[in-house]
Structure 1
Amino acid sequence: MPLRAGDPAELGRYELVGRLGEGGMGTVYLGRGPDGRLVAIKMVRNEFAHEAEFRNRFRSEVNRAQQVPPFSTAEVLDADPDHEPPYLVVEFVDGPSLAAEVKEKGPLTGAALHGVAVGIATALTAIHGAGVIHRDLKPGNVLFARGGIKVIDFGIARAFEATSQHTRTDQMVGTVAYMAPERYDPVGGRPVTAAADIFAWGAVVAFAATGRTPFAADSAAATAMRILTQEPDLTGLPESLTGVVARALAKDPDDRPTARELLDLLLSGDTHRTVAAATVAVPTVAGGPGTVVAARPRFGRRAAVLVTVLAVLVAAGAGIGIRYLSRGSGQVSGTGPLPSAGVPSAAQPSVTPSMTAEQKTQAILRGTRKTLIHVDEIDRDLAMESHYTDLKVGDGTGAKSEFALIPAGVEFMIRYLSDPETPEPCLGIKFNPAGAARVVTAECYATEGTLFRASKTGETDDKGRPTYWISNESYGVLQWSPDSKAFYVEVLGDAPPAASFSFVDRGPLPSPSTGG
């Protein structure tokens, strides 16, 4: 991605030539060193950089990371903890992530799957051997490179998580679906050790083999609860990996193998014999072939921990420091159109005059009512006339401004109710490599470009309706440009969204069209 206005042109002796991504810790740039070599540079966010304690921890963790042998990992090349802001330079790996490969081509099988399992275990052996804990192992941090697997983004997470200002539970570094049970109770329970990475390895390998995480649920809070209280669903995992993955996902960190033991198990090819010797049972249970349970955990987790996890994840929306990966969980299929939304069912009651603005909005979000989507900052409404291809604004009159939300797991598609006699189009994102992505009409298929999410702003509009930011997981936040008079989608990083939306009830949905 190109650099944005406000991005630095250089960091230290490195020229910045583009963006690779961003996350809770900072922005990752594509850079060029004095010798012309391309590198990946992680620039730390300002909120962390201004703390002396953080800089000291960052320096210590970088020194450890530089001791990690570079086989199966992205080599740490350089760092400047004293720069304003601090940054870390690592080897640039020009290859797709495991997350992208599974999303594009489907789950891995055979030698490819086993190679990924061995490659990640090899990387963890090197990382743990240097006294480093990764803390955020996930499919997005596993890259396919020339010569094999490369694990990235290890070695500095502890500096972020351990700094005094960032030890609140809502600032944990990690991704919910791959976090070990002990990560949710670091104070009252056991300290986080390298065993947390082994748990993440098990979840990542299960995802690579099945396209979903073993504790997948409809929300971050529900996923965390499953991790803490339920056994993994390993349906679809090949028998050759089921035993060792089940052991890696044990609730008690003491029941998990070390990285070296994990690698030995994989290379020996006799995982079932070794697991049995370790008294880790993996019986088949009711619920389908391949559904397994690990040994009954001895690691005690009090009910208070569950309450804390729920409160934090619900309040934070899993968006502060913790990211919930809904994609790849098996919740949404992209192989065909979703059915048209019909009239409200008994389980989804109609709106009545006595209902609050919040209750009406929830009925709309469940896909049971027509809606205007109001842009609060400009006091106008979304509109899509039949001859337009781009999303516009209107005055809220006529069918051109009426939409219906089609729920798809924790996300939804936005269907335009243009003409009951024709198949209704949905809103979709048209990617533009040279600038912001546009919002256009698209067929109503659940794809990366048609799925949106609504996040509460905590505010209400002038009618008392709750307001939301609307975003797409891959392309960013829905925004309005007063200059071009058009909507666009953009990844904002730390900047707050400039547009918020409220949902205005417009009555019951029409009968489903034949083409929807």
Structure 2
Amino acid sequence: MRPEPLRPHDPARLGSYELVGRLGEGGMGTVYLARTAAGAQVAVKVVRADLSPDDEFRRRFRSEVARARQVPPFCTAEVLDADPDAEHPYLVVEYVDGPTLAQVVDDRGPLTAANLHSVAIGVATALTAIHGAGVIHRDLKPRNVLLAPGTPKVIDFGIARAVGGTATGNTAPEFMMGTVAYMAPERFGDAEVPLTAAADIFAWGGVVMYAGTGRTPFGGDSPLATAGRILTQQPDLSGLGGPLRELVSYALSKDPADRPSARELLDMLVAGPSRPAATAAALAGQPDLRAAANQAQSVTGLLTAPAPGEPPTPEGPTVPVSAVPGMVEPDQERRGRRWFLPAAIALLVMAVIAGTMMLVFGSPADQVAGPGTTVPATVSPLPPAGPLLLADDLDRNRLWLAKTEPDGKSSCVFTGGELHVRIDGKPLYKCRGPQDTLPDDLSIDVGVRLVSDGACAAIWYHFKLPRGGHLVRVCQDNVFVGTHQSAEVSVTRTLPLDNPIQVGGPPVRIGLHVAGDVVTVSRDGVALGEAPLGDAEITGNRVLLGVFLDRDTPDSGSAEVAFDHIEVREPGRPGPR
């Protein structure tokens, strides 16, 4: 971004940073180019002076700092420092030396085909990481896309919200946050309707359209006219050709349930069977962009095609195209597109890495509805597991991510080749995990170790914010199978362990095989029992890991468990082992 000179009223210093120019200005404050004591260039965002005394704006600024820290730096400006409690609160991020997409298009005109595909991949990569960190950006537009060397970066989380948080539509004109031309239809509706990550996908479609043609798909002669066209008309995609036109059309669907997720979008951009030439051209000579896309994808996504003469990337196994939601093999007949997204706008919340959202549903005494029915471990033999959907060794940041809450009392950390989850003074905690939308029927296999007395390892499946999902708690003497919805944990079946799990001992392999309305639980490959899924209205499709305080143990207030290597597979068909 090209800096402008400082204005007379601008401060000369903030903390240890010397301000040398202006990079931009928005509703919450001004972004300055600054120098550190060592002479390095950084960008410093400062809250407006008239807003600094306002507790609500300080709260929002603290929230922005927290969200910015959650997002991986390969797709945005890395957070270097922050002081939300200063007289003039500020956030320091790396200075990205590159123009905005808006500047490039305004100065030079629409992008060429290869450059356009590169930008489409780069922004989809950023959204995959942003949504994976539990954030909805809400103001994606060409001015917030920096064409940095290596890979585009999405910036400015000033009006972003956490996925599943309190983000809502913006009905009141005076509270119309964002840029109208890139706002999804649901943002003009009921202010109480939760906003979802699908709104960012709609904005992606508008950004790509603008980058490729120099105009927006719903352009009107006023913001009101543009909003009317977004609500009532189909996008004008004239001038946009090639393989991107179809993806942009999907992204601009009126119903958020019809749009792909960021991960699905990225998968189709880099590995769609009809797009090998466009992908090769977009990634040619751009190893940073290819690496960023691979990092944003999980093992459930298709990896980017290697450059000529380059060996395939070792970042996890490649899965068949047919295993990716919304994609089909080249020789398969298209029978319609399946996005695995819910249909109801009001209930649609694209849940992402769970630890970002740490939900605490009441006190331990309020959470557990009872021990359920104890049953003997007499069940049918376990069916074979099918093709791999996702896998993670849980020894480093990959699908599951490390996180420590500001109070230090809840954390997910990698140590000793395991993912350790700890709580102190709280009843439960979930780790930030993949946002993959998985099928209803699946098999989960994960190593579990109880590190402290009173700790239960928790495995959620069919999970979705804010409703919750099915829950299996692995405790020292029992495995509790049931549901976790809103403020209530119910137990439908208690499976006693003849051989209790040794606290501090070696890990055990816990398996969950979900087929129809029954889940079969196993330990080290031996079935413990079956449990009905029940009649609860559970519509999610995510798998989460975490810790739960054992209600039947004297209340120590703290608990710790560890997980190692998790695999999620389709059930019922033999798969690779």
* TM-score normalised by the chain length of structure 1: 0.51
Aligned AA for 2:217?
A: P
Classify 1:163/1:129 alpha carbon distance in 2 versus 1 (closer, same or farther; 3 Å).
closer
Equivalent residue number for residue 184 of structure 2: 180
Deviation sequence 1:154-212 (CA, Å, 0-9, x none): 265449x9799x99542232111111111122525x31111111110000001111110
Q: Is the contact between residue 8 and residue 16 of structure 1 (CA under 8 Å) also seen in structure 2?
A: yes
Whole-Å separation in 2 of the counterparts to 1:277 and 1:144: 37
Would you say 1:74 and 2:77 are equivalent positions?
A: yes
2:120 corresponds in structure 1 to 117
Deviation at 1:56, TM superposition (A): 2.5
The residue aligned with 1:323 is: none
Cα distance in 1 for partners of 2:215, 2:128 equals 25
1:232 aligned to 2:248? no
Q: Give the counterpart letter for 2:85 in structure 1.
A: D
Corresponding letter in the other structure for 1:247:
Y
Contact 2:28 2:158 survives alignment (8 Å): no
The reply to whether residue 142 of structure 1 matches residue 145 of structure 2 is: yes
Match of residue 216, structure 2, among 213, 216, 227: 213
The answer for the alignment partner of 2:511 in structure 1 is: none
Q: Tell me: higher relative CO, structure 1 or 2? Use CA pairs within 8 A at least 6 residues apart.
A: 2
What is the deviation of 1:60? 3.0
Q: SS of the counterpart of 2:39?
A: coil
Query: Matches of 1:48 and 1:183 in 2, distance apart?
Result: 25
**Using the alignment, how far apart are the partners of 2:273 and 2:188 within structure 1?**
33
Q: Which residue of 1 aligns with 2:247?
A: 244
Query: Could you say which residue in structure 2 is the equivalent of 1:103?
Result: 106
Equivalent position of 1:94 in the other structure? 97
1-structure distance, mates of 2:98, 2:145: 10
Describe the shift of the 1:63–1:271 C-alpha distance in structure 2 as closer, same or farther (beyond 3 A): farther
- Distance apart, 1:46 and its partner CA: 3.3
Change (3 A) 1:128 1:278: farther
Q: Where in structure 1 are there 5+ consecutive unaligned residues?
A: 282-296, 301-516
TM-superposed CA distance for 1:16, in Å, is 0.5
Residue 18 (1) aligns with residue 41 (2):
no
Q: Please say if residues 135 and 160 of structure 2, whose CA atoms lie closer than 8 Å, have aligned partners that are also in contact.
A: no
Displacement after TM superposition at 1:239 (Å):
2.8
Is the 1:42–1:88 contact (alpha carbons within 8 Å) kept by the matching residues of 2?
A: yes
- Cα deviation for residue 140 of structure 1 reads 0.9
User: Helix, strand or coil for the counterpart of 2:120?
Assistant: helix
Contact (CA 8 Å) 1:57, 1:163: kept in 2 or not?
Answer: no
**How far off its partner does 1:222 sit?**
0.3
Distance 1:277 1:170, change over 3 A: farther
Work out the CA distance in 1 between the residues paired with 2:171 and 2:234: 28
| Counterpart in the other structure of 2:299 | none
Aligned residues: 282
Q: 1:110 to 1:167 in 2, by over 3 A?
A: closer
Deviations 1:364-409 (A, max 9, x none): xxxxxxxxxxxxxxxxxxxxxxxxxxxxxxxxxxxxxxxxxxxxxx
Sort the Cα spacing of 1:253 and 1:163 in 2 relative to 1 into closer, same or farther, 3 A: closer
1:47-62 counterparts in 2 under 5 A?
Answer: 47-62=50-65
Contact 1:29–1:40 (8 Å) recurs in 2: yes
Q: Is the 8 A contact 1:79 1:87 kept in 2?
A: yes
Q: Are 2:167 and 2:195, in contact at CA under 8 Å, matched by a contact in 1?
A: no
Contact 2:184-2:199 at 8 Å conserved across structures: yes
How many percent of aligned residue pairs carry the same amino acid? Answer: 65
Amino acid at match of 2:181: A
With 252-261 and 76-85 compared, the bigger mean Cα shift is at 76-85
C-alpha contact 1:244 1:271 (8 A) present in aligned 2: no
Map of 2:575 onto structure 1: none
Asked if the contact 1:97/1:143 (under 8 Å) is kept, the reply is yes
1:266 corresponds to: 269
Match of 2:36 among 14, 33, 37: 33
Please tell me whether the aligned partners of residues 139 and 159 of structure 2 are also in contact (alpha carbons under 8 angstroms).
Answer: no
State the distance in 2 between where 1:31 and 1:195 align: 35
- Aligned equivalents of 1:99 and 1:70: distance in 2? 22
Q: CA 1:278–1:33 in 2, change beyond 3 Å: closer, same or farther?
A: farther
1:315-359 Cα offsets, whole Å, 9 max, x none, are xxxxxxxxxxxxxxxxxxxxxxxxxxxxxxxxxxxxxxxxxxxxx
Between 1:42-51 and 1:132-141, the stretch displaced more is: 42-51
AA in 2 matched with 1:117:
A
2:408 is matched with: none
Match of 2:259 among 231, 256, 267: 256
Q: In 2 relative to 1, CA 299–232 (structure 1 residues): closer, same or farther, beyond 3 Å?
A: farther
The CA distance in 1 between the partners of 2:335 and 2:51, in whole Å, is 46
Structure with greater strand share of residues: 2
Q: 2:49 aligns with which of 40, 46, 58?
A: 46
**Separation in structure 2 between the aligned mates of residue 210 and residue 51 of structure 1, nearest angstrom:** 42
Give 1:173's aligned amino acid: M
Which ranges of structure 2 fall in alignment gaps of 5 or more residues?
276-325, 329-333, 347-577
Q: Which amino acid aligns with 2:150?
A: G
Q: CA deviation at 1:35?
A: 2.5
1:93 and 1:145 in contact (8 A); partners too: yes
Counterpart-to-counterpart distance in 1, 2:229 and 2:54: 36
- Comparing both structures, which one devotes a greater share of its residues to helix? 1
What is the CA–CA distance in structure 1 between the aligned matches of 2:31 and 2:158, rounded to whole Å? Answer: 15
Residues 405-416 of structure 1 correspond to what in structure 2 (within 5 A)?
Answer: none
Q: Distance in 2 between matches of 1:55 and 1:174?
A: 20
Supply the RMSD in Å over aligned alpha carbons. Answer: 2.8
Equivalent residue, structure 2, for 1:496: none
